[in-house]
Amino acid sequence: TYPILSARLASGHRGEVFTSLRQWTLRGGLPLGGLLALSIPLLPILMPVIFGRAYTPAILATQILMLGKAITLGVFWLQSFYYAAGKIETWVKGYALCSAAVVLGGWCASSKWGTVGLASLIAGTEVLFMLSMLALVICTRIGELVQSCRS
């Protein structure tokens, strides 16, 4: 995705970029995220068979982490977009904030709620981070459209 986005942004065809992002989301990210979400209820059956009964206690935490991934998979292109758009600093700052939340909140979450608490914190911060970064892209795009209408 990065080479395609980078080439389109460099050529000045921003409209094509957003068309591609919409198509990738609708044709790739959302269907794959949906498939991943549909597999989550199968984990209580599959994990003991594949990894053995010793991993049964990890099922709920794994389901929570997979739910977070299923949600964020819809915008799999987001990091590549920020890199191609030259907004690496914005991405890194957001990711650092997300990581700090996990590191600082991880001890509290895991000591209070165990692995499930930590998995919830990780999945929740990842979803919040990705949705926030997506909102920034959407707001920027709306701002560009408004600006072009005024000119």
Q: pLDDT for 25-48, tens place per residue? A: 999 999 999 999 999 999 999 999
> Tokens at residue 129, please?
């981070």
Exposure letters 65-103 (e unless 16+ CB within 10 A, then b) = bbbbbbbbbbbbbbbbbbebbebeeebeebeeebeebbe
| Whole-number pLDDT of residue 15 | 80
pTM of structure: 0.88
CA distance 28 to 141: 21
Please say if the pLDDT value at position 61 is more than 60: yes
| Whole-number pLDDT of residue 12 | 82
CA distance 25 to 64: 22
Stretch 94-101: mean pLDDT = 96
| Whole-number pLDDT of residue 149 | 67
